[in-house]
Amino acid sequence: MKLHLHKDIISLNTTRTELNDQEVCDRTIAMLSENYTAYFAPVILSGKVTCVNQCHQSHPHPKKCMNEGTCQVSSQGPFCYCLHTDVNWYFGEDCNQQVHKVGLYAGLAAVALIAVVTVAVLAIYLSINKRKVKKNKDIKLELVNEWLEDDFEWPPQKSTSYSGAN
């Protein structure tokens, strides 16, 4: 490129070079660290080549965040910042598996309460049943003991003698 200055005229000689979309994008993101360049791609927006990262909806492989999460690109790639982490847990990397903390705690408390009540009812039932069985056993034993202690006299057996005469 040559620049000529004359009194009232400035002429600029330029040479035109053809670049493909990827080269335009590569030159645009050249100031970024190499760790970030893999997450950008050229797209045509409003008739112009624009470099967008994977958080942009026009990217060929966009990162989509669910439940109002926001996408950001780091040197490790795109990731989602999930909102409301004070009241929710997110088990998916895209904020898609949302668990309400209060609901989880309430559910766990309900299950624990049901388990405690069930164990208490079973313990009471077994205790009552054991007493009944012991009481019935004691009554039967008492009856047997009374029977054994009674001066029960067996009726005399009839003696039959067989005589040889018929």
For the chain, the domains span: 15-96, 102-145
CA distances 146 to 12, 141, 143, 149, Å, are 132, 9, 5, 5
Report the pLDDT value the prediction gives residue 4, as an integer from 0 to 100: 46
Decide if 52 contacts 41 (C-beta within 8 A).
Answer: yes
pTM of the model: 0.51
Report the pLDDT value the prediction gives residue 140, as an integer from 0 to 100: 83
Decide if 93 contacts 101 (C-beta within 8 A).
Answer: no
The whole-number mean pLDDT for each consecutive block of 10 residues of the chain, a chain of 166 residues, reads 49 57 77 79 84 89 90 88 88 87 93 96 93 86 77 66 58
Which one-letter amino acid corresponds to residue 14? T
Decide if 69 contacts 55 (C-beta within 8 A).
Answer: no
Each as own residue / partner, the long-range contacts of residues 71-74 (CB below 8 Å, 24 or more positions apart, any chain) are 73/36, 73/39
For the beta carbon of residue 97, count every other beta carbon within 10 angstroms.
12
Q: Which pair of tokens denotes residue 147?
A: 């029977």
The strand ranges marked E within the chain are 2-5, 10-13, 40-45, 48-53, 70-74, 77-81, 88-90, 98-100
Report the pLDDT value the prediction gives residue 123, as an integer from 0 to 100: 94
Report the pLDDT value the prediction gives residue 13, as an integer from 0 to 100: 55
